[in-house]
Structure 1
Amino acid sequence: MPCQFRRSTRGSSVLIGSVLLIGLVVVVAAAVGAAAFDAADASPTPTRPTALSLGVSGDTLSLTHEGGAPLDVDSLAVRISVDGESLAHQPPVPFFSASGFRPGPTGPFNAAADPRWTVGETATLKLAGTNDPTIEPGATVTVRVFDGDTPVAALEATAS
């Protein structure tokens, strides 16, 4: 009886080894395929260009959405500099009251407004006297708008 047990064990080990090897190949192939599909889905979708314009009058900045896809203000970051020097306080759009800015921005920069900034809408904000540097007539004001880490626009205007 012991001899018969040995013979069946030898035949089983070859069969079990083959099944395990095939199973391992199938699992690896599935993992590689899933990774390839994830990489294809993760590629960024091209976005349509967005056109914004900037107007500066005194301490008031007006940004108008001139064309392109609507922007989600909740995901935007706005960075302002005057004559190449960044403001001490940057606007946390959207907001109602923020350090370095007068309360109550208008348009989509106001926290109570619709966060979708569409073509034709103008967002305004006013610098407070507590922000530095101040905007003097003739100063060059640069506004950079980002959607997350992606630049949307770099605008420049001369203050009047």
Structure 2
Amino acid sequence: MAAFELTIDGGGSEITIEHATGDAIDVRELSLTVAVDGEELSEQPPVPFVGAVGFDGAPTGPFNAEASPHWRPGERASFRVAETNDPTIEVGDTVNVGLVVDGQLLAELEATA
């Protein structure tokens, strides 16, 4: 059991997820699905990673392959969606992020860009 909070920066391209409470998560067993106004991104974030098609730079926190893979309460992880990813995130769009561990939905998060 765990709870998470999703925020999108003002420009819409940086997605941050905070592990608010609950058990630590091994991000090597985690998959993310990001959708913008109901349409999934053409390139999904392959956590953990450092540089991936569809994303700018390296992610922060446990989503970064060079960090500890254990995502604990109070830690934030973020990544920046590249303008080449489709659809692009515009201010006012609804962004949904699904967190899945071992094939089970852990959380469905929603925020407005």
Q: TM-score range with shorter-chain normalisation?
A: over 0.9
Correspondence for 1:148: 102
Correspondence for 1:54: 6
Residue 72 of structure 2 corresponds to residue 118 of structure 1: yes
Dislocated runs of 4+, deviation >2 Å: none
**Which structure shows the higher strand fraction?**
2
Equivalent-residue separation in structure 1 for 2:59 and 2:102 (angstroms): 21
Match of 2:6, SS?
strand
Residue 77 of structure 2 corresponds to residue 133 of structure 1: no
Aligned CA-pair RMSD: 0.5
% identity of equivalent residues: 48
Instruction: Return the letter of the residue paired with 1:97.
Output: G
Matched residue pairs, number? Answer: 111
**Cα drift, residue 103 of structure 1:** 1.8
Structure 2 unaligned runs (5+)? none
Residue 97 of structure 2 corresponds to residue 97 of structure 1: no
TM-score by length of 2: 0.97
Structure 1 unaligned runs (5+)? 1-48
**Cα drift, residue 148 of structure 1:** 1.9
**Which structure shows the higher helix fraction?**
1
Answer with 1 or 2: which has the greater Rg: 1
Equivalent-residue separation in structure 2 for 1:70 and 1:53 (angstroms): 15
